[in-house]
Structure formats: structure tokens, C-alpha cells
Structure 1
Amino acid sequence: MMKHDVLVLGAGMVGVSCALHLQQRGLDVALLDRRNPGEETSYGNAGIIQREAVHPYRFPRELSTLLSVAGNRRLDVRYHARAVPALLSPLLRYYRNSADAAYQPIAAAYASLIALSLETHESLLADANAQHLLGKRGWLMLFRSDKRRDEAFADADKLTALGVNHCKLDGAQLQAQEPALRERLSGAIHWTDPLTVRDPGDLVKAYARLLFQRGATELRGDATTLRPLPDGGWQVQTASGEWVSARQVVVALGPWSTQLTGDFGFRPPLFVKRGYHQHFRDDSPHPLQHWMLDEERGYLLAPMARGVRITTGAELTHIDAPATPTQLSAVEPVARSLVSLGSAVEPQPWKGARPCLPDMKPLIGAVPGKPGMWCAFGHGHQGFTLGPATGMLLAQLMTGERSAIEMAPFSPARRF
């Protein structure tokens, strides 16, 4: 057997980042995935490192919103009826945790984590020489109604105390800043801190190249072959049939994580929010310049390397359920009325799944009752944003360093 200090299972943004930070602390790391780095969930996101996202997505609590969700015709949220029985328990916990009394401490802990997002990414961007993948700094949250615009402006002002910066734009200012818009809207918030990435999958690949250039071992294989060794440590089988061992293992398999940890008795209430994207040729005389969220319709437009990417909201179903890209079909004409889009680049939309937990916080730390097993998953919508921060924090825990923030809220041993 080959012997390493740590096996990291999962080569998305979180797994690659964990491997890099462990390697920086002198550990011999092997990274295993069934595919190349950055080709699963990390490939299909909006490509924004969201420093402004200090508040995790709450479950809606307004009766009017709940009734419209129940009708299953919204653009931003859809569900598969057959999946509802399995989703009922985690969604009820999610609903309870979204009440103000429960949500406030969750948001405070989450804000401390998001605050690390830019500095940890910028360090890796420099080391990987990957700044060429960045787009314009910041992104636009668009508003169609004056009422929603004014509410959002007031909410944005409250975030300045948390280190979040923004500019308010009225309709004319928005049109001047983004000439690609074909409709006159009420205004926008320009979140000025976030970084945007023109190819999220390529950024993960750039970080992975840095990892392997520094001496880490790249492995192909099925993470579910993981087994404990009799004298301590862990082993996993590669695609070639070879068994590889290490003293410690990190589970960073995103939405598939509990399919593995469940075999070892650790079954946190993970559920997925699926999403879709598709690229379209930008045939406008004024090419799209900014990442834009059509906030009142529930989709996002991003000027990516492959074209303008439309990303959808949340689809609640089982991770392996057949693709039903009805949200994408529904938002495409709305997006076409907003900006000029050409034909689709890909013949079929991409589908992915976001790994979510009922208290909206990721799991970062030691798996209870399993010495040498650590986990880093459950980031919901923000795995791309939080990968490097998670990697740093997990590496601090694993090497006995003082952590940059209080880690108890993210403990795998917490109650949900």
C-alpha cells in the first residue's frame, strides 16, 4: 500500500481547498475522486465568491409565499411530489430554524465564516496564478418594483456593520452601468466586494494543479470503497485496483457525502437543492458585463467564458431523480426579454445538486465516534464561496492550531 498522512475524498472546490491547506501544513496528501477536479457540483454554480452572503437562505415563512410554493409553478422553487415524504423531516427542521429566534445565532456564525471567503480565495488565486479567470468585481441584484427595491436597499444598509459594501442604483444609473439591459427596471444593488469567475470548474482545476505541482497524489476511484484499517487509519481502492492508505481521511463529497458516512453510522439530515444551467451565445451589440440576479424572478445571468450562463433557483427532489429542467425553460423567455441572447451552446442543460442541512451551516470537523475521519460538506449554495475558508479551518482543527473563528457552530457533533 501507498501510505499518506491524509486521504481527501472529493475533488470539488471544498475537497481541493482542504487538500491544499493540509499540504501547506506539511502533510502528505492524496486526493481521490471518480472524475477530474471541478467536474461535479463545483462546475455548475454562478461563479460568484459571495462576500455579501452573510445571511444563509431561510425557508420562506410568509403564508402567501408558502402557498405559491405549494402550487409548484414558481420560477425560483420547484419540487418533485414523489420526493416530499423523504424531504419532509429535514424541511420541517429547516422551517423551524428559519424562525427569528433560531435564525439569529445561525446567521451570526455564518457571517463569521463568509467573512473569510475573499482573503482565502485571493491567496489561492495568487498562488495558482489564476487571476485571468476573474470577471468584473461585484455583481448586480436587480429589482423590477420600487417596493422591493426600497426594502432591499434598507436591508443592504444593515449589512455594512458586517463589513459588506454596496452601491445603490436607480433605474437610470443601472441602465448606464449595464447597457445590455433591454428593459427599464426600478434599480439595483451593486454588491462591490465579491469576486466573479468566468469558469468555476476551471478555477477548481487551477487550484488542483497547484496542489499536484506541490507534490500531492492524484487518485481516481470510488470513495465508497473506504475501509478502516485494523491498526488505525483508512484505506480506499483506486480505479486500477490498488489500495491506498492514510492515517486520516476527509470526506468532502458534497451532496454524496452521507452516502459514505452513513456506512459508518454518521447520518446528518442532508438534503439537496438541485439546480440547472445552460449557456447562450451573447449576440447583443452591448455584451453583458455584469453578473445579474433577477431577484423578483429567481434566476441569475452570468457572462461566462462559454457564453451567458442562466442558472436556476432550487429544485427539491432526490439527488438521482431524472432531470426536469422546467425552471430553466420557464426563465429563459424572461431572461431573453431582459437581455439579448442567441442560441443555446449546449444541447442539454447541466444539472447539479447543492448539499444542504436544516440549520443552514456546513459540517466542518471530526466525525463523532470515528477516530481519524473528518468531514467538510453541507455548504448549501456556498460551497464555491466557502471552499478555501473551509479548507483553512479544517486544517487548523486537524493540526491542533487555533482556529480563525469559533468552530462549535459547525461541529459535526451538533444537534439539528
Structure 2
Amino acid sequence: MQQDEQTADIVVVGGGMVGLASAIALRERGLDVVLCDPGEARARTSFGNAGVVSRASIFPMASPGLWRRLPAYLRNADPGLRLRRRHLLRVLPWTAHFLASARGSAWRRAAGALAPLTAAAYPEHRRLADRAGVPHLLRETGWIKLYRTEAAFAGALLEREILAEHGIPAEILDGAALRDLEPALVRPFARAMLLPETASVGDPGGLVEACERLFAGLGGRSLRATVTGLRPEAGGWSVRHDRGGVRARLVVLATGAAAGELARPLGYRFAFAAERGYHRHYALHPDSPPLTRPVYDTGAGSILSPMGEGRVRVLSGVEVDDRLAPPDYAQIEAAARAAAGTVRLGQPLDNRPWLGARPSTPDGLPVIGPAPRHAGLIFAFGHGHIGLSTGPITGRLVADLATGRAPAVPVAPFAPERLLRWPRP
């Protein structure tokens, strides 16, 4: 064995919330775990999240309303979604499946699959935050969806019906009740929907760092390295990285939007795309009341989320483009202009906006389960916007799969086989 090679029971590839939670859960089960990640905190999608942990996060991006808005999407005239048309052609299987998923029946099925996962998300988040010594980062605030017009509110009827079908509470507010609840909002809104079974993370990056410390305290090993390949061998796997390698019985692939690139040499070609998103922090005006919970302005397609006293994170809508393409700040600049009319913003607190790429599956469901043709390989990626939210419960599911236990949440809807195309032997 070379000097730069290590051994372990299991290697987790990817250090975002899904990978970290998986590594922690596996270590809690007594396994010798190596976590491989380059260690670039700002590069992780979990760093740039809105911090919303909501039981109501059960709706894929491919909604039935897509067809009505498609002409605006194709012109990049809708603030919630920007498309790079050349990139859509390069991910044609994802595009075709995504459009086919934009039906009421598919939306309902996806919501039914996600509901048990999001219902288990908060308890597992709370357990993890407590164990990591940062319970204060998780606050049970609820979050609010804002509608600028009665027509926009009426257009969300199907969403409210599906929430009710799954027993997810929602409180409808008129403009006056909204101002009483959240006086920081200065823009008039016709209606709002408060989703009370929601927690918010006041510092997603801080939570990830606390989980790294927890993993180390449990005796887990971290490699600051970029994994370059996975190779099955007798009795397990060889994980190659830019500093050497690790041999292990099991591997968890949890690298988010980059997972397809590592899976492809093994013959797995996923219908996959990257949902890029931007954020920038702003100070609230000194005379403004605090914003006490995240809010989603449906008219602007953007989220405002409080991140510590007097600081607000403005998050853009989705940009579908190659995950490594140069940034285009037009969308976050538009979101910031809209946010300045929603709350009283002060100066930006960042030198430049943050950009991250979320893994997007066309049906809006994550990929969680054993690799179909390789023993000892577990997939855990494709969570889209809910990677931070459902990361801890996904980690528990990964540990269940790795140790032969019945999964705590049904994982059949998340099976990798549903998204594979043109498999190679």
C-alpha cells in the first residue's frame, strides 16, 4: 500500500450538509468514516442557503403553472427563473423530463413522496444542532409566502390544497394582518401565507462548521481533498483524490451538483442539471424594525432571510446553466432592487454576490439509495433547494442503508433507477 493511501469502513464524498450529516450518522453507528471534501466553505451550496427548514417544502420546481409562464421563461422575462438555452440543449434528457413533470398529477405525486421526508427534517435538524452545540442557530419562526395581487394568491390554490391534503398547516393573512406580524415589510401585499411548521437557520455556514467540529469530536477523519475517481475492487472501493487515495468497504456519493461527473465513469448517466443561485447580504436601515423570519416574495421570485441582527440575505431565483459557467449578476441585482422596495435596506455587506450550484433532478426528488449495479455504493444527492433542510434526515437514511436497517423514511420514490439514461455495463 502506498504511503498516501488510507483505509476506512466507509468514505463519504462531499462535505455539504448531506455529506456531513451522513458522516456523522455513520460515525454514530460505530463505523470508521473518512469524509472527503476540498474544504472550500463558500463553494458549498449549504453555505448559501436561505436557511429554511420547512415541513411545507414539498413542491418541485416543475409545477403545473410552468406552461403558463413558459413564454416569459424563454425570454428570461420572469425574475424567478433564468435559462441558458444552449445549456438546456446540452441537458436535453433533463429538459424533456422536467417539462413532462410539470403536470398536476406529477406535482401531487412528488409532494406525496417529499412530505414524509420534510416532516422528519426538523426533528433531525434539532438533534444535530443540539449535538453540535449550536441550538441557538435553529429558530422556530415559521416563514411567509407573499402575494402582491389577489390574482397571484388565487393562482396558488393547488398548492394550498396539496398542503391541506398532507395536514401541513397554513395561515392566510390579509395585508393588515401581515403588517402587524412583520412590520419590517413596507411593500403592500394583497395576501400572505404563513407556514408555521418551519424553522430558520440564522447562519447556515456556521451550522455546517459546527457539524464539522462535531464529526471531528466523534473521531471522524476529514480529508481536504478533491476526489477524482471511484473504482470498485475486491472487497470494496478505491477512492482516488488529488492527494492519494482511500480504500473502504463502502462509499457514499454526496457531492451535490458534481455527483453526475463522478458517477458517469461507472456507467451511470443521470438526467441532471444545475440550479444556480445567488445571494448578497445587506444591512437593514437603522430605523427599520427587524425582519423576524424568512419571506418569499412570489412576485419577485426571491427570498429575504434574516442572518443575524440587522443583516438580511437577499436570494435570487433560479438560473439554469452549466455549474461552472461564469457568474451573471443580473438576476441578483434585480432581486436586490425588488428587496429594497419590500424592506428598508441599507448598504451591501459583501464585496460581491455569492454564487452556488444546486443539484437539480427533473422530477424534483432527491436521489437516495444503493447504486443499481455496484455493491457498496450509496447515492445521496439531487436535493435541489432543500439540501440544507433535509440533509440531517438524509444522513440518517444513508446510515440506515449502510447498516442494513429499515430506512426511517420511505426511500423507494428516490431510487436512482428512475433518472438513469442509456446505462452502460
Q: Is the TM value for this pair above 0.5?
A: yes
Match of residue 137, structure 1, among 141, 149, 154: 141
For residues 61 and 151 of structure 1, what CA distance do their matches in structure 2 show? 8
Determine if the alignment matches structure 1 residue 87 to structure 2 residue 97: no
| Percent identity between the two aligned chains | 36
Write the letter of the residue equivalent to 1:300. I
The number of residues matched between the two structures is: 414
What secondary structure does 1:32 align onto? strand
Give yes or no for contact 1:12–1:39 (8 Å, CA) kept in 2.
no
Task: Return closer, same or farther for 1:38/1:32 CA change in 2, 3 Å cut-off.
Answer: farther
Distance 2:149 2:390 in 1: 32
Q: 1:34 deviation in Å?
A: 0.8
Alignment of 1:32 with 2:68, yes or no, is no
* Structure 1, unpaired ranges of 5+: none
**What value does the CA root-mean-square deviation take over the aligned residues?**
2.0
- For the 8 Å contact 2:146–2:189, the answer to whether it is kept is yes
The answer on whether the counterparts of 2:60 and 2:107 sit within 8 Å (CA) in structure 1 is: no
What does residue range 183-198 of structure 1 map to in structure 2 within 5 Å?
A: 183-198=187-202
Task: Give how far 1:227 is off.
Answer: 3.2
Q: Could you tell me which residue of structure 2 aligns to residue 13 of structure 1?
A: 17
Deviations 1:295-340 (A, max 9, x none): 1220011111382111011111111111001111112222111111
Change in Cα spacing, 1:81 to 1:327, as seen in structure 2 (3 Å) is same
The corresponding residue for 1:212 is 216
In structure 2, what residue type is equivalent to 1:160?
A
Give the corresponding residue for 2:256: 254
Query: d(CA) in 1 for partners of 2:138 and 2:114?
Result: 25
Aligned match for 1:287, one of 285, 290, 296: 290
> Match of 1:111?
115
> 1:105 Cα deviation (Å)?
2.5
Structure 1 residues 311 and 357, CA gap change in structure 2 (3 angstroms): same
Shift of 1:157: 5.6
Shift of the alpha carbon at 1:57? Answer: 2.4
* 1:263 corresponds to 2:265: yes
Among candidates 351, 363, 374, match of residue 367 of structure 2: 363
Contact 2:42 2:48 in 1 (8 A): no
Aligned to 2:423: none
Look up the SS of the partner of 1:226 in the other structure. strand
Q: Report the Cα distance in structure 1 between the residues aligned to 2:211 and 2:378, rounded to whole angstroms.
A: 21
TM-score (norm 1): 0.94
Deviation at 1:60, TM superposition (A): 5.0
Query: Does structure 2 retain, via aligned residues, the 8 Å contact 1:15–1:253?
Result: yes
Alignment of 1:342-353 (within 5 A): 342-353=346-357
Aligned partner letter, 1:293: Y
TM-score (norm 2): 0.92
* Residues 225 and 236 in structure 1, CA contact (< 8 A), matched pair in contact too: yes
What SS does the aligned partner of 2:91 have?
A: helix
Q: Which moved more, 1:144-153 or 1:331-340?
A: 144-153
Q: Deviations over 1:121-171 (max 9, x none)?
A: 111112112112134511111111123235547743652342322322111
Q: 2:393 is matched with which residue: 385, 389, 396?
A: 389
Following superposition, the deviation at residue 111 of structure 1 comes to 1.5
Deviations 1:6-58 (A, max 9, x none): 00000000000111111121111111101156751111111111211123222
Which amino acid in structure 2 is aligned with residue 226 of structure 1?
A: L
